[in-house]
Structure 1
């Protein structure tokens, strides 16, 4: 009693529309005795202007992840085998990086990620609204996507091609976890 290993914490990162949530859900379903935490379930204090934040060096520690960290610490005390984090930062945030055992970056081509995002987020919007969003992406927002490629991708333990099927990606991650 008392010598149960702590859960393995697996972080899933990628750009918006890259498949983080889909892969995190699939992985959570496939892994035995696991729970999941979603970044989007929290209202974090952080930079007001993401593009300005990127242009100023993208200091990930400017985000207050304490609510997520608190929930993660609670789960770490439970008799779980795995905890899946749908978290875009991988190891780049000093406080949460200490709690992550394995970081995966879903490397989805930016055109696919953008198409998924438009389908997901703009179903009930006018064509004009979608065009405005595309103009915003080209003039500024793309820099946020490129920041992920520059800093999160190389700081991950595993990079998975986001154009593969969900089951292929999930199987590859599970295989990598079992090898650890």
Structure 2
């Protein structure tokens, strides 16, 4: 059930390191009358052990997204054309799904996403820390990535090739938004 409104809410989803933040930021800068909310700017109550959560069936409603929802509702009261959500869950969280008009999944190859994540999150770490993280990824963490591919990708309206250059990805999304607005 969609809301009756003028503001188009766009969710940009991907695996960790898939480009959500960069693409969301660039997209917001390219769209007129738009604002952005970043998932990582919040400290949500949710599963402590992500792999245990995945193994239990990955119920996205276990995440308390109330602070994000409150901020989104505030932006919906502004006169905006677009709200971009740097948001990994697409439509899978029941309370958030009613606000989203379009969900884009950035389908970034897992090796590229992992390389981005390591360069982003481990730039000041030792080689031993990086090796430990790679062992963790191989043993456990990859299941979290595969969960996103299985459920979030399948639950999104549009899949965009995450191997494309950032500006090309933004152009693909902008073009699709233009098509949606012309209907």
TM-score w.r.t. the length of structure 2 is 0.95
- SS of the equivalent of 1:106 reads strand
Q: Which runs of 4+ in 1 moved over 4 A?
A: none
Shift of 1:133: 0.2
Alpha-carbon distance, 1:76 to partner = 0.5
SS at match of 1:130: helix
What is the Cα deviation at residue 41 of structure 1?
A: 0.3
- CA offset at residue 128 of structure 1? 0.5
1:163 is matched with which residue? Answer: 163
Aligned residues: 177
> 1:130 corresponds to which residue?
130
Unaligned runs of 5+ in 1: none
Q: Which runs of 5 or more structure 2 residues have no equivalent in the other structure?
A: none
Name the counterpart of 2:139: 139
Matched, 1:66 2:66: yes
Aligned to 2:86: 86
Secondary structure of 1:83's counterpart equals strand
Structure 1: how far apart are the matches of 2:178 and 2:103? 14
User: SS of the counterpart of 1:37?
Assistant: strand
**1:6-25 superposed matches below 5 A:** 6-25=6-25
Give the TM-score normalised by structure 1. Answer: 0.97
What secondary structure, in the 3-state scheme, does the structure 1 residue paired with 2:153 have?
A: helix
Q: In structure 2, how many angstroms separate the alpha carbons of the residues matched to 1:146 and 1:44?
A: 22
Once the two structures are TM-superposed, the CA of residue 5 in structure 1 deviates from its matched residue by 4.2
Deviations 1:72-109 (A, max 9, x none): 00001100000000000000000000000000000000
Q: Do the aligned residues in 2 keep the contact of 1:6 with 1:76 (CA within 8 Å)?
A: no
Deviation at 1:6, TM superposition (A): 2.5
Aligned to 2:48: 48
CA RMSD of aligned residues (A): 0.9
What CA distance in whole angstroms lies between the structure 1 residues aligned with 2:128 and 2:57? Answer: 32
Pairing 1:26–2:26 present: yes
